[in-house]
Structure 1
């Protein structure tokens, strides 16, 4: 049972979380760098947004994994 959950979580939660985090970082940074003269502040905000997207997809992957394993 838990073996299937781990597989599902690694496949969907982690892989999509990493992809979503990277894409969110790139999009956010490219948009914020246009509005700020210094590069450090947009980088911090983009990292925060990327981590939020990563955590969101990890949580969604875990929740979906629990529903798939129950059935």
Structure 2
């Protein structure tokens, strides 16, 4: 005796329910948490860049102090 294995059948109602469930889980932009795309995509400076900026700031302060002492 031969047996025929048939997979589970999906009803149209189940298919509609599945599509609705998937679509309900998609994040939509809300007005409360809306950000400009530029803010969302801004580049965070690397540690090296932060150190470089700090160095340049301190260097500028020291140059001003040297100029004041020279006067």
**Which band: TM-score by shorter chain?**
0.3 to 0.5
State the TM-score, normalizing by the size of structure 2: 0.36
Greater relative contact order (Cα 8 A, min sep 6): structure 1 or 2?
1
**Which has the higher Rg, Structure 1 or Structure 2?**
2
Write 1 or 2 for the structure with the bigger share of helix. 1
